[in-house]
């Protein structure tokens, strides 16, 4: 079996729904053993989330299957003596403890950082929450939609006529999970040198603002307040979505040479000589006029024809695909990004389900889950679980 960077790392995962499970899924893909600690008889809320009612009834909802392949499941009641004893034993033997309760909840159960450090001085304890463990909003409830709004993300998504808009997937949960996985990996690397664990306090709000990159830094550094620009890129022109004979096409001709090549290929070599379009800053000022000229020329071919022609000549360009079309790309399938894993539920479902990797190839092999998503409490016997 392929050796992976986190082989041998043991993760106790108390998380629910998405940000936390997404984090532990990344750790699992890199080789960690992840044990989900779930409420007896109920489990992760994601077990009942998804578009398939039958799967939801079986507590194997699509949302759960997507982020929990390759993990183990144990039912524990942290309010019962037996459950607490089992949990403490698990923590003592773990490398990582991950939770995404509201700030202070685990501490009120008797497991603040001081107590966890007593149980395991080398423990890396990561707490994911909407706002972090400190500050006036620390105990406020937060889902992805709430963070999208508070971060400013929705204020720059859409056009001046449609703003504010939610990003079309739970991006703040995903960012929080990725940042947590990065922080945990960094903490494990640091522990290898010092022998000491640490407490990681991750704010989804702050992680999301950080991930907005230039949208935030342009304001902090240059005082330019961001505005919604729809499918256009504020940093360059032409850079955005354009019209072709059969549908939209993204073009990002951010460099002068790319712009000149684009104009030549669409039969408009005169455009770079126009004072409105000759230089980068001028093109941004006269973006609408430039886009009008480009759209007229681009309607001569299909989106796929332009994608192939422009890409071949070094101009970044690609069609806008649906999710099914993206998943069908040979570029995606050819790298082993999708994996079929056994399906453990009942009913008339097929014997496997398909889940994603994370786009990382290690020593020539794509990262894949090593098993299916677990049934609730499937591994109780391994950990002396108690309800």
CATH numeric code, 10-211+337-383: 3.40.50.10540
Question: What is the pLDDT at residue 161?
Answer: 95
Q: Are 241 and 320 in contact (CB under 8 A)?
A: yes
User: Is residue 386 over pLDDT 50?
Assistant: no
Residue pLDDT, tens place only, 141-196: 999 999 999 999 999 999 999 999 999 999 999 999 999 999 999 999 999 999 99
The band of 97, judged by pLDDT with boundaries at 50, 70 and 90, is: very high
With residue 340 as reference, give the H or E element that holds it: strand 338-342
User: Is residue 346 over pLDDT 80?
Assistant: no
Question: What is the pLDDT at residue 387?
Answer: 42
CA-to-CA distance for 337 and 334, rounded, in angstroms?
Answer: 8
User: Is residue 351 over pLDDT 90?
Assistant: no
Question: What is the pLDDT at residue 239?
Answer: 97
Residue pLDDT, tens place only, 6-48: 999 999 999 999 999 999 999 999 999 999 999 999 999 999 9
Domain ranges of the chain: 10-211+337-383, 239-243+248-319
CA-to-CA distance for 248 and 318, rounded, in angstroms?
Answer: 9
Residue pLDDT, tens place only, 262-289: 999 999 999 999 999 999 999 999 999 9
The band of 255, judged by pLDDT with boundaries at 50, 70 and 90, is: very high
The band of 347, judged by pLDDT with boundaries at 50, 70 and 90, is: low
173 is catalytic: yes
Q: How many CB atoms lie within 10 A of CB 293?
A: 19
Q: What percent of the chain has pLDDT over 90?
A: 94
The stretch 290-319 carries a mean pLDDT of 98
Question: What is the pLDDT at residue 356?
Answer: 96
The angle formed by the CA atoms of residues 165, 171 and 176, to the nearest 5 degrees, is 135
Question: What is the pLDDT at residue 345?
Answer: 65
Q: What is the pTM of this model?
A: 0.93
- β-partners of residue 361 are 366
From the list 114, 173, 270, 363, the catalytic residue is: 173
Question: What is the pLDDT at residue 349?
Answer: 67
CA-to-CA distance for 268 and 270, rounded, in angstroms?
Answer: 5
Residue given tokens 């080398």 in the structure block: 122
Question: What is the pLDDT at residue 78?
Answer: 94
CATH numeric code, 239-243+248-319: 3.30.1540.10
The stretch 237-242 carries a mean pLDDT of 97
Ordered alpha helix ranges (H), the chain:
19-29, 53-57, 62-68, 81-92, 105-108, 113-119, 144-150, 171-194, 204-211, 214-222, 256-265, 280-285, 287-298, 303-312, 323-328, 330-333
Q: Considering all CA atoms of the chain, what is the largest pairwise distance in Å, rounded to the nearest integer?
A: 79
The stretch 108-132 carries a mean pLDDT of 97
The band of 348, judged by pLDDT with boundaries at 50, 70 and 90, is: low
């Amino acid at each position: 079996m392929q050796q992976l960077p986190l082989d041998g790392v043991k993760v106790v995962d108390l998380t629910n729904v998405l940000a936390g499970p997404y984090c532990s899924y990344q750790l699992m893909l890199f080789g960690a053993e992840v044990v989900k600690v779930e409420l007896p008889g109920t489990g992760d809320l994601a077990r009942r989330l998804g578009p398939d009612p039958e799967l939801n009834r079986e507590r194997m909802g699509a949302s759960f299957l997507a982020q929990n392949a390759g993990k183990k499941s144990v039912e524990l009641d942290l309010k019962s003596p037996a459950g607490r004893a089992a949990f403490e034993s698990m923590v003592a033997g773990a490398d990582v403890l991950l939770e995404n309760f509201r700030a202070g909840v685990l501490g009120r159960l008797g497991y603040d950082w001081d107590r966890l450090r007593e149980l395991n001085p080398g423990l890396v304890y990561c707490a994911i929450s909407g706002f972090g463990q400190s500050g006036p909003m620390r105990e406020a409830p937060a889902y992805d939609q709430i963070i999208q709004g508070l971060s400013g993300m929705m204020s720059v998504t859409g056009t001046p006529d449609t703003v504010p808009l939610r990003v079309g997937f739970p991006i703040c949960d995903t960012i929080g999970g990725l940042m947590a996985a990065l922080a945990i990996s960094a903490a494990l690397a640091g522990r290898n040198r010092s022998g000491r664990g640490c407490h990681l306090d991750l704010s989804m709000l702050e992680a999301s603002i950080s991930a907005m990159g230039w949208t935030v830094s342009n304001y902090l550094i240059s005082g330019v307040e961001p505005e919604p620009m729809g499918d256009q890129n504020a940093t360059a022109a032409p850079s955005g979505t354009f019209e072709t004979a059969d549908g939209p096409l993204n073009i990002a001709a951010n460099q002068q040479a790319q712009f000149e090549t684009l104009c030549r290929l669409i039969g408009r070599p005169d455009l770079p000589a126009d004072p409105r379009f000759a230089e980068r800053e001028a093109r941004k000022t006269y973006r609408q006029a430039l886009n009008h000229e480009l759209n007229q020329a681009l309607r001569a071919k299909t989106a796929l024809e332009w994608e192939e022609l422009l890409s071949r000549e070094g101009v970044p360009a690609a069609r806008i695909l649906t999710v099914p079309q993206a998943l069908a790309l040979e570029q995606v399938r050819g790298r082993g990004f999708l994996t079929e894993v056994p399906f453990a539920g009942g009913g008339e479902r097929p014997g496997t389900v398909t889940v994603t990797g994370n786009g990382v190839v290690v020593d020539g092999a794509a990262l894949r889950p090593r098993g299916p998503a677990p049934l609730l409490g499937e591994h109780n016997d391994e950990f002396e679980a108690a309800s």
